[in-house]
């Protein structure tokens, strides 16, 4: 038995890479065997894992589905694929968070921001130099499509208020708060606790500077409600927002979103 | 003297105080704080008009900026 693009196939002695490619994926110009590029003349051994790639080709939805199944286990993948996650604010927290969730194959992402990409964002936010001046929603949607085009991404170009958060996010499974402004962070949590009892929540507070990585924590406020950060490091003159620490917090948030979607709940 | 529990700690207040006054006395900006009084999340407009009664349990969740 060999595995071709993660699917099992009967192995035959003397099987060569070129023959396999011609049979399974004509036009494949890159072949990876057990993690390393292989020559067309290479002979395959029983148990080999073989990837046939056409350079530049986008895998179909079915292929991507299969890949994520294999990487994340079917139990995880099926849950994430059916999930919807809202992300409020697409800055240093929201943009890497969205990228992580798209990589995980979360089925639907609802992205909210009212800002455009500025040069000063590029020290930490998941945008590119050729996206300066674009709406963050549109720029991030384009980037996510380059990561996994099969994730459904919806954009909301609005400055969210306490009153309209329940209106926009009533249907999501989990909502991530990635705002910059502390009053808006508080308003968002208040809004969700008062109006959206069924929605999981992952907020943020204290992510600036280059302090101890391990001071960034995921704290549980109540069942299905969490806040990530050290709780203290405000963005202020002399303590800016920087890619590593904001990124650590963003990925704490991403992991907690996944845990909520998978129904893991801490007893603490 | 009024005794309340704030974020798990016993706190003695000199006299009658609103939630807003308590938050300000802790050097916090009320706009950046979520307040839960006896299990109920308060609206922002309630902070100034809600008095802390003897035995009240208050949870304050404070946010700092950056994201």
Per-residue H/E/C for B45-57: HHCCCCECCCCCE
Taking CB atoms and an 8 Å cut-off, how many pairs form between chains A and B?
80
Q: Residue A220: helix, strand or coil by DSSP?
A: strand
CA-nearest residue to A235 within chain B is B66
Which residues have C-beta within 8 Å of that of residue B55, sequence separation ≥ 6?
B3, B4
Distance of CA A222 to the CA centre of its chain: 24
Q: Residue A239: helix, strand or coil by DSSP?
A: strand
**Contact yes or no for A234 and B65 at CB 8 A:** yes
**Contact yes or no for B67 and A190 at CB 8 A:** no
- Model confidence, pTM: 0.93
Mean pLDDT of A16-21: 93
Residue A267 has pLDDT above 70, yes or no: no
How do residues B19-45 score in pLDDT, each as one tens digit? 999 999 999 999 999 999 999 999 999
**Contact yes or no for B65 and A181 at CB 8 A:** yes
How do residues A191-216 score in pLDDT, each as one tens digit? 999 999 999 999 999 999 999 999 99
A6 CA to chain B: closest CA distance, Å?
38
Which residues have C-beta within 8 Å of that of residue A201, sequence separation ≥ 6?
A174, A175, A176, A177, A189, A192, A193, A224, A225, A226
What is the band of A222 on the pLDDT scale with cuts at 50, 70, 90? very high
∠ Cα A94 A140 A166 (to 5°): 50
What residues pair up with A201 in beta bridges, in sequence order?
A175, A225
pLDDT for A266: 67
**Contact yes or no for A182 and B41 at CB 8 A:** no
A positions 19-48 inside 8 Å of B (CB): none
- Indicate if ipTM > 0.85: yes
Highest mean pLDDT among A24-38, A69-83, A84-98: A84-98
What is the band of A74 on the pLDDT scale with cuts at 50, 70, 90? confident
CA distance linking residue A128 with residue A47, whole number of Å:
41
Decide if B27 touches A, using CB distance below 8 A: no
Residues of chain A found within 8 Å of residue B42, distances taken between Cβ atoms: 190
Instruction: Supply the mean pLDDT for chain A.
Output: 95
Nearest CB to B63 within list A89, A182, A208: A182
Mean pLDDT of A27-47: 93
């Amino acid at each position: 038995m060999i595995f071709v693009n993660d699917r099992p196939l009967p192995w035959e002695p003397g099987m060569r890479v070129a023959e396999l490619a011609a049979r399974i994926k004509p036009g494949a110009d890159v072949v990876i065997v057990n993690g390393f590029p292989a020559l067309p003349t290479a002979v395959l051994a029983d148990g080999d894992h073989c990837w046939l790639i056409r350079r530049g080709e986008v895998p179909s939805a079915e292929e991507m589905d299969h890949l994520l199944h294999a990487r994340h286990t079917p139990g995880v993948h099926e849950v994430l694929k059916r999930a919807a996650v809202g992300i409020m604010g697409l800055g240093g927290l929201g943009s890497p968070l969205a990228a992580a969730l798209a990589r995980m194959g979360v089925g639907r992402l609802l992205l909210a921001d009212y800002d455009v990409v500025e040069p000063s964002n590029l020290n930490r936010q998941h945008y590119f130099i050729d996206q300066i001046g674009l709406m963050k929603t549109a720029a991030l949607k384009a980037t996510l499509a380059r990561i996994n085009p099969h994730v459904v991404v919806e954009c909301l170009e609005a400055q969210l208020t306490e009153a309209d958060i329940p209106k926009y996010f009533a249907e999501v499974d989990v909502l991530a708060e990635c705002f910059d402004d502390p009053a808006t962070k508080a308003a968002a949590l208040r809004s969700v606790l008062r109006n959206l009892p069924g929605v999981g929540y992952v907020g943020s507070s204290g992510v600036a500077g280059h302090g101890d990585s391990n001071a960034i924590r995921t704290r549980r406020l109540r069942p299905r409600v969490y806040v990530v950060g050290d709780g203290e490091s405000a963005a202020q003159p002399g303590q800016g927002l920087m890619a590593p620490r904001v990124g650590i917090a963003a990925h704490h948030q991403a992991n907690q979103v996944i845990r909520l979607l998978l129904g893991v709940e801490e007893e603490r | 003297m009024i005794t309340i529990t704030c974020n798990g700690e016993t706190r003695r207040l000199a006299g009658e105080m609103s939630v807003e006054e308590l938050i300000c006395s802790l050097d916090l900006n009320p706009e950046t704080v979520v307040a839960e009084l006896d299990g109920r999340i308060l609206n922002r407009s309630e902070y100034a008009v809600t008095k802390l009664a003897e035995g009240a349990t208050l949870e304050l969740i404070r946010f700092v900026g950056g994201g």
